[in-house]
Amino acid sequence: MTPLQGCLLVSALLFAIGLAGAVTRRNAILALVGIELMLNAANLNFIAFWRYGAHPEALTGMMVVIFSIAIAAAEAAVGLALIIAIYRHYRTVNLDEINNLKG
């Protein structure tokens, strides 16, 4: 088992856990946490492919991941703000109850 495969396996596990959390948790904040996990799994993939790839000296993977983390921070901020707004409106953050778009 090469280090790359190990990293990918961890990353896949992390993604699966994040997806499961995002899909199953009823609390909006926890679903957001799941999403963050999935994002970080992707970041781990970037790092792994860069570190064990053809040009580890080029710092490209690191650059993408730093951007990605910055975007994730912004996204988390927007997401949390939305959740607060939703809470103020519905007095709940239970995703099952927020179904006004139901056809």
Under the rule (CB under 8 A), what is the footprint of other proteins? 19, 22-25, 31, 95-96, 98-103
Q: Of 37, 35, 62, 36, give the one whose Cα is nearest residue 48.
A: 62
For residues 63, 59, 37, 88, the Cα torsion angle rounded to the nearest 10 degrees is: -10
Least distance CB 63 / other proteins (angstroms)? 26
Least distance CB 89 / other proteins (angstroms)? 15
Least distance CB 40 / other proteins (angstroms)? 17
CB 53 within 8 A of CB 79: no
| Closer to other proteins by Cβ: residue 57 or 103 | 103
| Closer to other proteins by Cβ: residue 2 or 103 | 103
Which phi and psi angles does 16 have, rounded to 5°?
-65, -45
| Closer to other proteins by Cβ: residue 57 or 96 | 96
Least distance CB 53 / other proteins (angstroms)? 21
| Closer to other proteins by Cβ: residue 7 or 22 | 22
CB 40 within 8 A of CB 21: no
Which phi and psi angles does 99 have, rounded to 5°?
-130, 40
